[in-house]
A and B are shown apart, each in its own frame.
Chain A
């Protein structure tokens, strides 16, 4: 892979590295620096937290893949190291990876992947399995990618979340960075408004 994989999604231009503070009400579960040697232990830690939160198996697998892709992206294209933070609100789990690399190309890969291409699938896959993904370029000082996975299926959410205040804070913040969607058929648009 010669080039840093680009994402099939709009990318915000806002310099940001990493978020200084978590949204109100969020619980920080993991904050760990990693390199290649720590990839698997950090991934396992993420999976264990997801299980402990009662995330359904399919979403645990999605989060495992997302964490792996975001870390591999930093390891392969951003100097070999990064920092992963995992935090949870009542309704969502966030996985954020920040690095000190060259930033991420804003050129979209497009909705259709070339099956013959040697690389460039990492962020696309992360975005496909996430319920929302934001990429914050901060070149030359690095990039921060934040993925969100809903803790419950859409039918179980909305309505009366135990702490809609925290949830809406999170959502408002992310909406400010631009909600991410991939191609037309697999839209991963996240709720942009507060729960009603």
Chain B
């Protein structure tokens, strides 16, 4: 399985769509896309969409946390959405889902 990353912008919000697997092999590629979204001219918020992510390990979590930190430094809203199945379970267990999604448990 390969991992693809793409972005779309609407109304000042950049949505980064990740599809495939988030692991240490794809970290730099996803980080670059998230960094570019945060640095986009006029950006108000960044949404990372995990709907199509089938696998995530701690390296993927580290990538998402890094984006959260970078966005905070740039005063850009940052939210992760769409985690399901095992991906959601891993994010819940590590306590980062609430932090990244803004959802209350």
Task: Please list the residues of chain A having a beta carbon within 8 angstroms of any beta carbon in chain B.
Answer: 1, 5, 36, 39-40, 43-44, 61, 64-65, 68-69, 72, 75-76, 112-113, 115-119, 121-122, 124-125, 128
**Known A-B contacts A115-B96, A118-B65; A65 and B90 likewise in contact (beta carbons under 8 Å):** yes
Once the chains are docked, how many angstroms separate the CA of A115 from the CA of B90? 12
A115 and B57 within 8 A (CB): no
Once the chains are docked, how many angstroms separate the CA of A40 from the CA of B65? 22
B93 and A117 within 8 A (CB): no
Cβ of A124: which chain B residues have Cβ within 8 Å of it?
A: 58, 94
A116 and B24 within 8 A (CB): no
Asked whether any CB of chain A lies closer than 8 Å to the CB of B62, the reply is yes
Asked whether any CB of chain A lies closer than 8 Å to the CB of B10, the reply is no
21 A-B contacts, Cβ less than 8 Å apart?
A36-B24, A39-B23, A39-B24, A40-B23, A40-B25, A61-B86, A65-B55, A65-B86, A65-B90, A72-B58, A113-B94, A115-B96, A116-B65, A116-B99, A118-B62, A118-B65, A121-B94, A122-B57, A122-B58, A125-B90, A125-B94
For residue B4, give the distance in angstroms from its CB to the closest CB of chain A. 14
**Known A-B contacts A113-B95, A125-B93; A72 and B65 likewise in contact (beta carbons under 8 Å):** no
B99 and A40 within 8 A (CB): no
Asked whether any CB of chain A lies closer than 8 Å to the CB of B98, the reply is yes
Asked whether any CB of chain A lies closer than 8 Å to the CB of B69, the reply is yes
B95 and A68 within 8 A (CB): no
A39 and B62 within 8 A (CB): no
Cβ of B61: which chain A residues have Cβ within 8 Å of it?
A: 121
B57 and A68 within 8 A (CB): yes
Residue of B nearest to A36 (CB): B25
A40 and B1 within 8 A (CB): yes
Residue of A nearest to B1 (CB): A40
Contact of B58 among A40, A44, A125 (CB under 8 A): A125
Once the chains are docked, how many angstroms separate the CA of A65 from the CA of B65? 19
Going nearest first, the 9 A-B pairs with the smallest beta carbon separation are A121-B58, A115-B95, A122-B58, A68-B57, A72-B24, A115-B96, A115-B99, A61-B86, A119-B62
Once the chains are docked, how many angstroms separate the CA of A124 from the CA of B1? 25
Cβ of A72: which chain B residues have Cβ within 8 Å of it?
A: 23-24, 57-59
